[in-house]
């Protein structure tokens, strides 16, 4: 699974860096999209004894490219599972207003030291950190997420505390902005 995920991230990254890339945004039911990713990643969570919860609003809609946003959600949930120990929890939730939907992927994991927070989304500092069960990664996932979200006019940021977990937030236009 790790080699497949690395290859998928590398291909997505290479395609995204192409000057000619276009993407067709459409209205997406966010709860269903997140539910599909939760189902896909549930076995990884179960292996580690982690509770995985989809708390996205039933009415949440976004206006985005489905492939790109699926990749963002998959990367953020995978990272949350990677850095959460047995007995922990990963939750995905949303809040909507008239302009945007804010999505939060939170975990009860190891957290991120303050000195690393500002460097998380910078290519020159990209590196892979082992997960709680020695899982490996490429170090490209968060960079890919940031790039995809910015292409949609969205933002990505994080709040974290060592030994208390992390919360990754991102925004996307909702369907009212069509």
Per-residue pLDDT of the chain (178 residues; tens, 9 = 90+): 454 554 565 555 556 555 556 678 899 999 999 999 999 999 999 999 999 999 999 999 999 999 889 999 999 999 999 999 999 999 999 999 888 999 999 999 999 899 888 878 765 555 567 566 666 665 678 888 998 899 899 999 999 999 999 999 999 988 644 4
> Rounded distance, CA 82 to CA 110, Å?
10
Instruction: Note whether 90 and 107 are within 8 A (CB).
Output: yes
Identify the pLDDT of residue 136: 64
Q: How far apart are CA 63 and CA 30, in angstroms?
A: 10
pLDDT for position 12: 58
The structure tokens listed for 165 are 């977990």
Q: What is the distance between the alpha carbons of residues 35 and 74, in angstroms, rounded to a whole number?
A: 11
pLDDT for 120 equals 80
- Distance between CA 43 and CA 58 in Å, rounded? 24
At the topology level of CATH, where does 2-14+26-177 sit? Heat Shock Protein 90 (3.30.565)
Distance spanning both ends of the chain, measured CA to CA: 36
pLDDT at res. 177: 47
């Amino acid at each position: 699974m790790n080699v497949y995920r690395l290859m998928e991230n590398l291909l997505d990254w290479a395609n995204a860096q192409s000057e000619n890339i276009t993407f067709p945004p459409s209205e997406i039911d966010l709860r269903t999209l997140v539910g599909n990713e939760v189902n896909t990643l549930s076995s990884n969570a179960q292996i580690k004894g982690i509770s995985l919860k989809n708390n996205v609003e039933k009415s949440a809609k976004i206006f985005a490219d489905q492939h790109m946003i699926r990749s963002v959600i998959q990367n953020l949930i995978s990272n949350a599972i990677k850095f959460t120990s047995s007995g922990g929890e990963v939750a995905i939730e949303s809040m909507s207003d008239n302009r945007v939907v804010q999505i939060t992927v939170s975990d009860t994991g190891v957290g991120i030291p303050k000195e690393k927070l500002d460097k998380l989304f910078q290519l020159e500092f990209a590196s892979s950190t082992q997960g709680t069960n020695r899982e490996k990664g490429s170090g490209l996932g968060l960079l890919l997420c940031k790039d995809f979200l910015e292409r949609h006019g969205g933002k990505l940021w994080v709040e974290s505390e060592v030994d208390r977990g992390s919360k990754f937030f991102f925004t996307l236009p909702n369907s009212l902005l069509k």
